[in-house]
Structure 1
């Protein structure tokens, strides 16, 4: 399951910073950050899922907003018209907003919406759509929601991300090293360890693994800054990251 770390400090030069690990089936193809949805305009960018056409993470440079979706574990019956990919959710969140008629046709999800003055967490558990604004500070978000210490990797590593200090600039700067160092330390664990962040798990016969790392920073007066690195193999984080253009 995906893991996202968010730092939120309203009023600062870079009020939102995010580090996200995307967990997906290893053979599922995707494209790095780009404007893959021309119908939404050139300012909408994201990580493109070639199979379903949506995005795990999307941003709108024109409004300085971003959103990222994480899977949940609840199961319910498939709608008569079939599933709608959860990849439409981040794109809707940064453009037109969530449509309840679309939400009820998706599998369950957690959504994090990011703006300079607000970080909102929304969950869809198959029964109800619930939202809450996150307070300023550093938060670690998984399939269970934000700061859920019952999740072993949150209990172990969230305090370390808090103590490391939130990055205060565009991805790629030295101030991101403390968060990346915590992530590298976590990656010394076996990828199936309960405490691992860089993971490889099997659920219902399907293997999910951490396949990419995304760093995002948001300023209220400019486009969203995004960098993504492919991970060379499931469950492994290299010492030096090869950030894609």
Structure 2
């Protein structure tokens, strides 16, 4: 994920909304949104190169985690997988299920929202490793350090904020993410670009709606997956 917005305890019908675009090299193989068949309880797309994910929900617990990269930081192949960090945090098991701030430098540059246990946390290692609570409201991250202005994140935050204020169905935000007149949010490159737009909406009763729209080079649509399930 390279731009994501989160509404927590803000929408009248959907106490949790996550919406964002995943930007990645088109050559990097990925599986579409699905219920993982490994018994983990994870519902997510899957990076087939490293085995992790960029955004997912854990059906038994209702945990939700999403990660972005950070632009300008040269990736180190010796670092731990950011997708594995997301997967472990979703499961609540593994080396990185509950990372401490001193663990975050083991990963290439990232920003991350983690929802679970009645709270939301921001984890990042740029400009410095940090774990901090997030208050109810509308928030956004993109591929910039968290202390830097980011018009891309602000554009998506304002769109989600308007949806929340109106009490509208958040599914319409998927159209905002790929608007032709807003290239800041949707990247149409032939080598690197937006690979997927994903929505997660969780009701007060624990009903979850997940929608993933996928794209190939040039921003051409390749398919949509929509899932509905209950937490627990």
TM range (shorter): 0.7 to 0.9
The Cα of 1:219 is off from its aligned counterpart by 4.1
Unaligned runs of 5+ in 1: 169-173
Residue by residue over 1:1-58, the C-alpha shift from the partner in whole angstroms, topping out at 9 and shown as x without a partner, is 71112111169653101111000101111012234362xx341222111111111112
Name the SS for the 2:54 alignment partner. Answer: strand
Q: Tell me which residue corresponds to 1:18.
A: 18
Higher mean displacement: 51-60 or 156-165: 156-165
CA RMSD of aligned residues (A): 3.4
**Residue 186 of structure 2 is aligned to residue 198 of structure 1:** yes
1:11-90 superposed matches below 5 A? 13-36=13-36, 38=38, 41-73=39-71, 75=73, 78=76, 82-90=78-86
TM-score by length of 2: 0.77
Provide the rounded CA distance (Å) in 2 between the counterparts of 1:31 and 1:77: 23
The Cα of 1:178 is off from its aligned counterpart by 4.3
1:129-208 superposed matches below 5 A? 129-144=129-144, 150-165=149-164, 175-185=169-179, 187-189=180-182, 191=183, 196-200=184-188, 207-208=191-192
**Residue 193 of structure 2 is aligned to residue 209 of structure 1:** yes
Cα gap change, 1:22 to 1:76, in 2 (>3 Å): closer
TM-score by length of 1: 0.74
Q: 1:243 is matched with which residue: 210, 225, 230? A: 225
The Cα of 1:77 is off from its aligned counterpart by 8.6
Count the aligned residue pairs. Answer: 222
Q: Tell me which residue corresponds to 2:202.
A: 218
Where does structure 1 differ by over 6 angstroms across 4 or more consecutive aligned residues?
Answer: none
Unaligned runs of 5+ in 2: 228-232
Name the SS for the 2:50 alignment partner. Answer: coil
